[in-house]
A and B are shown apart, each in its own frame.
Chain A
């Protein structure tokens, strides 16, 4: 099974609301990354958080990491229609650190 698993698999909210997506993983990591994929496009790197960091911000994005629970969350504040996309977490493992392992993604829909 996948190293990283996102929850929920799909999320639909109204424009202006906040969106929260969660990622759980199984083995120890060096870092955890979040990516966005618009339909039919390649992935875009959003943010990287290292294993010794607990929280990181980038614009309207806030990422938290809890290594004791092996989980991370991505919060998008004041959502916009343009945020409609799939969001993936990816883990850089301690063992096999050269690899980046992706979860199955959360499909986020922002309704106007």
Chain B
């Protein structure tokens, strides 16, 4: 079992560029979420999904899009990168809301 796999691990973008952060899990989990972690801010929820075809916004969704076409994959798209999106991004999955999350190892994104 690979668990939750995030790619890339590191990325530098220029302001205005777009990109997709990939997230895949092989545990057949229905629930998946994207969080960003900034110093002193803990983790903030960007978007989440409760199953294929179902997504919803979290606390800080602006500037990000998601889709969930399969159970396994939950990509996060940055539409037009801004320096405020410099952060570490974590993807996580769990079977349903009564369980804890399994986290990926994160993507460290820098926007210059």
Contacts and interface: CB of A to CB of B under 8 A. Distances in A.
A104 B42 contact: yes
| Chain B facing A: main interface SS | strand
B43 A88 contact: yes
Contacts, number: 64
A54 interface: no
B90 A42 contact: yes
Interface stretch (A11-19, A59-67, A71-79, A94-102): A94-102
B74 interface: no
Given A43-B103, A48-B99, A48-B100, A104 B45 contact: no
B101 A45 contact: yes
Q: Which of A41, A42, A48, A97 has the most CB of B within 10 A?
A: A42
A44 interface: yes
Contacts of B40: 104
Given A42-B90, A42-B103, A45-B102, A102 B43 contact: yes
A42 B31 contact: no
B38 to A, nearest CB: 10
Contact of B42 (A50, A88, A98): A88
Question: What bracket does the count of chain A residues touching chain B fall in?
Answer: 20 to 34
| Chain A facing B: main interface SS | strand
Nearest to B4: A42
Interface string B74-112: 000000000000000010100001111111111000000
B103 A44 contact: yes
B41 interface: yes
Contact of A97 (B44, B59, B97, B100): B97
A72 B97 CA distance: 19
A101 B106 CA distance: 18
B33 A100 contact: yes
A42 B104 contact: yes
A42 B37 CA distance: 10
12 contacts: A45-B100, A47-B100, A50-B98, A98-B48, A99-B33, A100-B97, A100-B101, A102-B44, A103-B42, A104-B40, A104-B42, A105-B42
